[in-house]
Amino acid sequence: MSRSLLVISRQAPWSGPSAREALDVVLAGGAFDLPIGLLFLDDGVFQLATAQDAKALQQKDVTANLQALSLFGIDEVFACSHSLAERGLSPPDNAQPLSSEQISQMIDRYDQVMTL
Amino acid sequence: MKFAIALFSAAHAPSSRRALQFAQAALAGGHEVVRLFFYQDGVYSASNSVVTPQDEQDIAQQWRAFVSEHQLDGVVCIAAALRRGVLNNEEASRYQRSAVNIDAPWALSGLGQLHDAIQDADRLICFGGP
Amino acid sequence: MSTLHVLSHSPFTDSRLGSCLRLCGAQDAVLLCGDATYALQAGSAPFQALQAKALDVFVLAEDAQARGLSLPDWAKSVDYPGFVQLSIDHDKVNTWL
């Protein structure tokens, strides 16, 4: 049995390489067929916002990488409801919103956790 | 107990020293460090170009000495290192850069090594930030 | 299942402690190191939030000592061997990087 890893991404997408490098950890795990979960928390939920335009900052599109998650076998993608509401964001299409209580239980279920 | 230790901060960050102290305490307690994996700004903690004032601790040097002494598996993420200009001889010549600032005991490799260490270890311990 | 949450950012400039306390389970513990130890500044809002949560609070001794903090009786001081032992006593360690 492979050990499962929950990656908690809490950085905004346009604040440097941190959000992308968190996603790279997730995609690399997926490429090795490992059980990986991804939770967007705090400013990390801004990665899920619609109508972002990477070209405005001459950046690569992080949201394109988010779409690659399922191709890498990453189906456990969650967003913190509290963080979304705090930032006036609607529940996203591409991540399942979870309450603080549900997140607490989910952290328990994973073998290891990494908060970036 | 088998530990995988991941470091995300440069040698001048207190968390780099904290990671080193933790790793030393783990070994002293009879535990095993299956791998050190340096990611994001952690790649700077493996740089051999760091020059600290004489009255300050040289944490990058202490990391090198620690890894060498205990013959640990010290892996620096290659993608994170290239992005931050931390290059070994091979990468410097590949990309035609003049500075080489990482060498043994560190190895440049991919994120697969992080996942491999997580699979192998009983605990993943991350250090970073301030 | 229990998680040891490790914090090192000052609670006065950063949201990590707040998010951590919101997601902490009943079995979880918090280890404060670096500037996160300022959460033990008596009378402050982070101090009260930690106290109200009534979970196991640990503090890295060297960081509290360096900052001249006096510890409340509900916070236990640990050295590095103690930190290693805490990481073994809990099922996993979640460092808020």
**pLDDT tens per residue across span A6-62:** 999 999 998 888 899 999 999 999 999 999 999 999 999 999 988 788 888 888 877
Chain A residues whose CB is inside 8 A of the C22 CB are 82, 100
The whole-number pLDDT of residue A50 equals 83
**Structural domains of chain B sorted by starting position, each given as residue range(s) with its CATH number in brackets:** 2-127 (3.40.1260.10)
Verify whether the Cβ–Cβ distance C95 to B127 is below 8 Å.
Answer: yes
The kind and range of the H/E element at B65 are helix B59-69
Contact B6 A17 (CB under 8 A): no
Nearest to C81 among B29, B123, B129 (CB): B29
Token digits of residue C84: 């290693």
Are B115 and A18 an interchain contact pair (Cβ–Cβ within 8 Å)? no
**pTM for the structure as a whole:** 0.96
For C3-95, CATH number? 3.40.1260.10
Question: Is the minimum CB–CB distance between C92 and chain A shorter than 8 Å?
Answer: yes
Which residue has tokens 């930032």? A87
Domain boundaries, chain A: 5-115
Catalytic positions of B are: 77
Residue B21 host element (H or E): helix B14-28
Whole-number Cα distances in Å, A62 to A10, A43, A85, A106, C7: 14, 15, 22, 25, 27
> What is the residue whose two structure tokens read 């001889």?
B89
Domains of chain C by residue range: 3-95
Query: ipTM score of the complex?
Result: 0.96
Q: Where are the alpha helices (DSSP H) in chain A?
A: 18-31, 62-67, 81-86, 100-109
Nearest residue in B to A5, CA atom? B118
DSSP string, C47-58: HHHHHHHT-EEE
Q: Which CATH superfamily is domain A5-115 in?
A: DsrEFH-like (3.40.1260.10)
